Amino acid sequence: MSKSINSIFAQQYSPLECIVVDDGSTDETETLIKQWLGGTQLRYIRVNHGGLSYARNIGIENANGEYIAFLDADDVWMPEKLRDQVELMLAQPSLDFCFCDVVLEGEYKGITKGTVTEGEDFARNIFVNGITVAQAPSTWLVKKRLLKAIGGFDETIHHGSDVELLFRLACNGRGGCVEKALAIRVLRSDSMSTNLRSKIDMATKVIEKMIRYREGRYHDVHAAAMFNLHRYLSRHAWISRSWKDSLIQAMKASYWNPSFVLSSEFWANLICSHPIRLAKKKLDLILKPRTIPH
């Protein structure tokens, strides 16, 4: 968190307001934040386990500026991030939000592009394919009036609320991109697989909310969206070594796109995950402590 907040105060843009929303943390977050309080534009708000979307909405509600940017605790901004994005928005007044390219660190390295297309095409792409790493909230700059107009983050969505909100932003506004790597994200295999169960449980709900939001407009690509969703979940289940979930999601993907069963990816999953799952089950039985009768 220290690196994240330091990167905010290193920004080459002013005036700057920093709001830290602490969603009921049990670590030393509050003590850590105190070193920045006093003499800075930082405000600390503590809420009681309302969830990520609720915490972000609290930040939006308390923000005074015209533009809002989000920064997750493990991410870092380059010093020119806000300056370059605000300059883009001022140069193109029709823009309502924008992204930037992002540098990946950790086990996944490289530069990911945040390029967007125009409104309807962008919304359709989000519906079918989700969002890229470079379209995560830490790369956003959004006009507050649009966030307020569309109702902010959906607090009933516990995983994938960023996808659903970005879809609504695309449906109601115009996006752009500063084609420079202005943010750093740290991605590891364990972070990629975190909250797999929440991803699986909420994924279909997110698709359903998006299709209802523009009733009748995306039925032609509904099957493609569901196929890509279950294929994505199958990959993430594999990362987290949840072999059964990986196989189930691969089967669901083949339901929405029957040709998927002809792919090497499907058969690699089927052939590998089944024996691995059985071996794991057998190993668990071997290692399970035996109860000695009295």
Measured torsion, CA atoms of residues 264, 269, 274, 279, in degrees rounded to the nearest 10: 110
CB-based burial label for 168 (10 Å; 0-12, 13-18, 19+): buried
Q: Does domain 2-187 have CATH number 3.40.50.300?
A: no
Mean pLDDT score of the chain? 86
pLDDT reported for residue 27: 72
pLDDT reported for residue 292: 47
Looking only at the bridges linking them, the beta strands covering 110-112 and 175-187 are: unpaired
Tens of pLDDT, residue by residue over 154-177, are: 999 988 999 999 999 999 999 999
pLDDT band at 273 (very low <50, low <70, confident <90, very high): low
d(CA 44, CA 30): 8
pLDDT reported for residue 193: 47
Query: Average pLDDT for residues 69-84, to the nearest whole number?
Result: 94
Output the CA torsion sign for 125, 131, 132, 136: positive
Q: Is residue 178 over pLDDT 60?
A: yes
pLDDT band at 291 (very low <50, low <70, confident <90, very high): very low
For residue 275, is the peptide bond before it cis, meaning its omega torsion is within 30 degrees of 0? no
Tens of pLDDT, residue by residue over 33-46, are: 777 766 567 888 88
d(CA 141, CA 182): 12
Q: Which two tokens stand for residue 182?
A: 């202005």
Q: Which two tokens stand for residue 68?
A: 């809002």
Q: Is residue 280 over pLDDT 70?
A: no
Query: Average pLDDT for residues 132-136, to the nearest whole number?
Result: 90
pLDDT reported for residue 187: 78
pLDDT reported for residue 272: 74
Q: Is residue 284 over pLDDT 90?
A: no
Q: In percent, how much of the chain has pLDDT > 90?
A: 56
CA-closest candidate to residue 65, choices 16, 108, 31, 110: 16
In the chain, where does the domain assigned CATH 3.90.550.10 lie? 2-187
